[in-house]
A and B are shown apart, each in its own frame.
Chain A
Amino acid sequence: MNLEYSLFPGCVSSAREFSCEISARKVFEVLNVELYDVEDFTCCMPACLVHSFDYATGLALTSRNLCVADEFDRDILTLCVSCYGNLWRAKKLMSENGDLRRRVDELLASIGRSYQGKVGIKHSITALYEDIGPKNLKNQVSKPLRGIKAAPFYGCHLIRPREYLFFDDAEFPEKLDELINVTGATSVLHRERTGCCIGCGSFFGEVAEEAALRLSVDILESALEAKADCVVVTCPYCFLQIEMGQLLFKRRTGESYNVPVLNYTDLLGLALGIEPRELGMNIHKIDPSPLLEKIK
C-alpha cells in the first residue's frame, strides 16, 4: 500500500489542539501512509466566519487552497471536519458555472492561479475508511481494546450536508462506529452522536460561548447515559470544545465529569500498539489514565 496525501492540518490543530496532529501523524506513519506538508496552504477560510464578510472573497481564499493542492498529484487530507466540509463546499460552488464562479476566477487570476479542482479532498476518517478500509485496519490491530465503551461524536461537517458530502448518512451514520469496533472497543449508541460542538459558532461572543458550554455538557450527559468510558471525536475542534467544556463546567460548579476525549486516531493508535505518549495523549487535559488502565 503506497498511499500519500497533502496534509491540511488546519488552524485548530496547528495552533491550539496539538494532540490531534501528533496522533494523526503517528498513526499514518505506522500505517505506512506518507503525509506531505505543503508550504503554501493557509487557513481553510471557513464559510461560517470568513465567507460571512464577503462571499466571493471568502470563496476565492478557500479555493486558493485547492489550487495549491493541485500543484501536487495527491489528495488533500484534513484533520478537522470544518476544513473538510468547507473545502468540499468550495469545490461544489466552483463546479457551478455562474456569476460567482466568474468573480472567483477573476480574483484567482489576479494571483496568477486558475481553479481546476483536480485532487480529491479527504479527512483522516474518510481516508482510513475508504482508502485503507476497516478490514485492513482490523488485520493490523495488535492490541484489541476489549472492554472499552466508546461514544462516537461524528462532527457536523463529516456528514452534513449530503448535498456535497457523500461519506456517510447524515441522519444515521455508521462508519465511525464501524471504525471504533475495528479497534476491539465497542461503540455505544447515544442521542448526541451527530450533534454539534459549536466550534464554528463560538467565535461570536459570550452568548455563543455559553451555548458551547451547555452543549458540551449535553454531549457528556449523552455519552454517560449510554455508559461510555470516553467520547471519540473526528475533529480537533470537537476535541477542544468537549475538553474545555469539562474544565469550564468544573470551574463554574465544582463538579467534574472526567470523561476522557479521544481523537479517533488515538483509539486506533492504541489498538495498533502505539504508546499513549507517542499519540500525544499525555497532553490531554482530561486525564485518560483510567481508560488506559482498563486496556492494560
Chain B
Amino acid sequence: MIKRVLATITSSREIALDTIEMNLAIPEFASFSPIAPGQFVHIQIGSGVAHQLRRPISIADVDYEKQQITIIFKVIGTGTEELRKYRVQDQLDLLVPCGNGYPIEKIDSKKALLIGGGIGVPPLYYLAKKLVDKGVEVTSILGFQTKDHVFYEQAFQALGDCHVVTNDGSYGYQGFVTNVIETVQPTFDTFFSCGPTSMLKAVTNSLVDREGYISLEERMGCGVGACYACVIPSPNEKGFKKICQDGPVFLASEVSL
C-alpha cells in the first residue's frame, strides 16, 4: 500500500555528472517491507506550490537494517535542480512505494542479463542484489552518454560480470548497449532492462524471442493510477496499461513500445 511519509535525507552526493545519490531514512519502515526492485518513490519538490507535480524516482537500493532507501536521479530540469539542493537532515515528502517491481519471487532464472541505460541503471542495482541473493548469476551491461556519466560500475562488478558502454566511446565499449549484447554474446535465460524508451525498443527488438522484463519511464501526474497521464499501448483487452500503477515493470511482450 502506498503511503505518504516525510523521509529524512541521511546522505547526498554527486556520483557522476549531474547524477545525485541520496539515502533517505523512512519512518514506519516496517510497513513498507519488502520493497520490490523496480518500485519507485514519488517526490514532492519544495512546498509543492511552484512544482505542482511530484517526480517519480526509482529505488536504487534498500537497507533494511538502517531503514533507508537509496535514490539516484539525474538533474535534467527545474524540479531535479531543486531536488539536488536538498541537504542532509532535510525532509522530503514521498509517496512510497509506488508501482510494481520486478517479480523476482516468481521468476525461475539461473542466469540473468541486466541492461541499463543512463538513469535507468539505478533500479537494476537493487534488482541485481536481490537476484544474487537468490543464487542467480548476473551479467550487467550498462550504457552511459560519456565517461563523466558513468556510475556504480564497481558496485555491479561486485555482483557479476559488468560491461560498460558509452555513446562516445570515452569509457568502455563505444556505442549502445545493443552493440555490447552482440559483441559479448552473454548467456542468459531472462533479461531485465531499464532505460530510455528508444533503448528499450532496441533491446526488445534484438531480444525479441527471449523472456524479459522492462521498466518504463514517462512523465507522470498522480503516480497512483488516477490521472491516465502515463499510459502505454498494450495488446491486452483494454488496449493500454498504466505505467505508474500496472508497471513501471512489464513483461516485454505485455506492452507495445
Asked if A and B bind, the verdict is no
Which A residues have a C-beta under 8 Å from some C-beta of B? Answer: none
**Partner-A contacts on B (CB < 8 A):** none
